[in-house]
Structure 1
């Protein structure tokens, strides 16, 4: 019996792969309790189908999540997790078949149960908030994959 693949690369131009991601969006839980998007399927497809995108989209059958990521050498850039629950970072990292020395997360990482993540910042993004924003306690990041 063969070993189950930990990650299955998806092609968003392939109808079957795109339908899998759409189904995952239907049962999606936000990637963060602090700041996350629930319904951003349209911007997601707009971004991943763009000619300029460098992100990869993969399904992790063991975790039943779609991971949106990129890598540079041994750095994992994690842009989004689409599924009914958010696994911790250690479990997510175990799905990849390359050595990971650093993880840069492009969303608020509170559900990843990891202190060793670096939050990627984008100086061109701005968040308008009314009232006090407890930035010393929480980390806020707007995933580029959700931008329009």
Structure 2
């Protein structure tokens, strides 16, 4: 006898398929792709794919989420990441910049304005490249914990 489909929650409260807001769609292709763990949902979001089905795109442009997933029809308008992705990308770029400065520019006989300009350019590039992945990751986290905004 097979076990009923359960979605694992971060706080170990198992809810069965009788709850309509947790139930995956009825067709089998969606049940196969539904994430079983938080980590799989986070990795799907970080790869800019729909955390729910991993087939559709999460963004229609650089940081603008799609209205509905093209595969599972999940509404991504209500899932907001706010400022967490910006803080995460700035933290990542700051840590990288400290390492780059320490190993490459600390004792280099280069003018200070060149060093500063290079570090600013590297920090901006890292922040801009990592921002969409962090936003997808935080949108997946918000969706997994069911903290979506309510439509009035």
Answer whether TM exceeds 0.5 for this pair: no
TM range (shorter): under 0.3
Structure with higher strand content: 1
TM score, norm. by length of structure 1 = 0.21
Calculate the TM-score normalised by the size of structure 2.
Answer: 0.21
Larger Rg: 2
